[in-house]
């Protein structure tokens, strides 16, 4: 049995669909049912990762897909107990979704710290492991949905920062390989999209796909900070400014890893958009 957590998330949805096409039984773990049902034959368990529902979901599981954790208010990494529960349940292998900052060393940067500590915890877990360090997701443009609903004017933070945006489908494809074969044990893969892309270029492609006259304006830093603070704790907002304004993190780097592992080039933003335009409409 393979357990996919975050099963209705951007990667989880694709991963469950890919794995459901194979022979291994699949269980999907999710906070609550999503808008679309899981494919036929997929066992679903609902609940919080830090509740007993997760322990129930681990029953009979050999491999588990987990997102990186976070350091909580009491100073502990929530992923530690999730890994311990997996080990106690007899799980053998974990595939961890991390990000490019997981390869850094700045423990004062909250995003980097969560990813570095999560990777350390997985390596020390006693389980076999595979770590996926992804670049920024193509699906991050879903964050523009409220503005797209309100009109044609987009205002975005860090508009001058190019990102080698990756289609979550490609992260799922590599995760599926790692979960179904033993060939990727002990590997840490840095996964990127095929080209760096700017928010304005993404907006132009969305405008074309939706037949709309969109404009995009880069937010001044103080406006961006105030807006981000409305839904992110301040240490994470500081981390994003350190990355993208001070320039400590380059997410524009393109690597051949997805093609090396899957045998086909990574999907471009245009491919992601073709698959998701209806959700942006
Ligand atoms: N966005 C990026 O550019 C980027 C880049 C690198 C790494 N990452 C990492 O990738 C992960 C996914 O990012 P995303 O932006 O695409 O988010 P997402 O998949 O839209 O959302 C994450 C999913 O995690 C599940 N989840 C969260 N908290 C949970 C809890 N307490 N209990 C059970 N399930 C929980 C939810 O899945 P269910 O609804 O199915 O429960 C949710 O859909 C995050 O860890 C993020 O840090 C993101």
pLDDT tens by residue, 67-109: 999 999 999 999 999 999 999 999 999 999 999 999 999 999 9
What is the reported pLDDT for 182?
87
In angstroms, rounded to a whole number, what is the distance separating the alpha carbons of residues 75 and 114?
A: 11
What is the reported pLDDT for 34?
83
**Residue in 5, 6, 111, 115 to alter for ligand 1 test, most ligand atoms within 8 A of Cβ:** 6
**Residue in 31, 36, 169 to alter for ligand 1 test, most ligand atoms within 8 A of Cβ:** 31
Query: Residue 98 in contact with residue 129, Cβ under 8 Å?
Result: no
Low-confidence residues in the chain, pLDDT < 50: none
What is the reported pLDDT for 142?
98
What is the reported pLDDT for 18?
98
Which amino acid residue places its CA nearest to atom 22 of ligand 1?
9
Report the candidate in 85, 94, 1, 99 with the shortest Cα–Cα distance to residue 43.
Answer: 1
In angstroms, rounded to a whole number, what is the distance separating the alpha carbons of residues 226 and 271?
A: 33
Q: Is the CB of 134 under 6 A from ligand 1?
A: yes
Which amino acid residue places its CA nearest to atom 45 of ligand 1?
67
What is the reported pLDDT for 147?
97
What is the reported pLDDT for 101?
98
In angstroms, rounded to a whole number, what is the distance separating the alpha carbons of residues 74 and 122?
A: 20
């Amino acid at each position: 049995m393979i357990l996919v957590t975050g099963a209705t998330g951007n990667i989880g949805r694709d991963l469950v669909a890919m794995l459901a096409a194979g022979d291994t039984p699949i269980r999907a773990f999710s906070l609550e049912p999503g808008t679309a049902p899981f494919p036929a034959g997929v066992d679903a368990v609902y609940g919080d990762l830090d509740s007993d529902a997760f322990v129930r979901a681990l029953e009979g599981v050999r491999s588990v897909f987990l997102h990186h954790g976070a350091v909580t208010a009491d100073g502990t990494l929530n992923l530690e107990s999730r890994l311990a529960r997996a080990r106690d349940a007899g799980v053998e292998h974990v595939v961890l979704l991390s990000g490019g900052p997981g390869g850094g060393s700045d423990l004062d940067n909250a995003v980097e710290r969560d990813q570095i500590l999560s990777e350390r915890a997985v390596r020390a877990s006693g389980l076999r492991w595979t770590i996926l360090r992804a670049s920024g997701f193509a699906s991050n443009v879903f964050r523009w949905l409220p503005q797209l609903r309100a009109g044609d004017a987009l205002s975005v933070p860090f508009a001058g920062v190019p990102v080698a945006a990756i289609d979550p489908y490609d992260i799922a494809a590599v995760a599926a390989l790692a979960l179904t074969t033993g060939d990727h044990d002990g590997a840490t893969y840095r996964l990127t999209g095929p080209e760096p892309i700017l928010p304005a270029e993404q907006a132009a492609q969305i405008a074309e796909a939706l037949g709309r006259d969109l404009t995009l304006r880069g937010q001044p830093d103080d406006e961006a900070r105030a807006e981000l603070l409305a839904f992110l704790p301040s240490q994470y907002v500081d981390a994003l400014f350190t990355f993208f304004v001070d320039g400590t993190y380059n997410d524009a780097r393109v690597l051949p890893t997805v093609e090396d592992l899957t045998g086909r080039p990574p999907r471009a933003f245009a491919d992601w958009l073709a698959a998701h335009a209806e959700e942006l409409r």
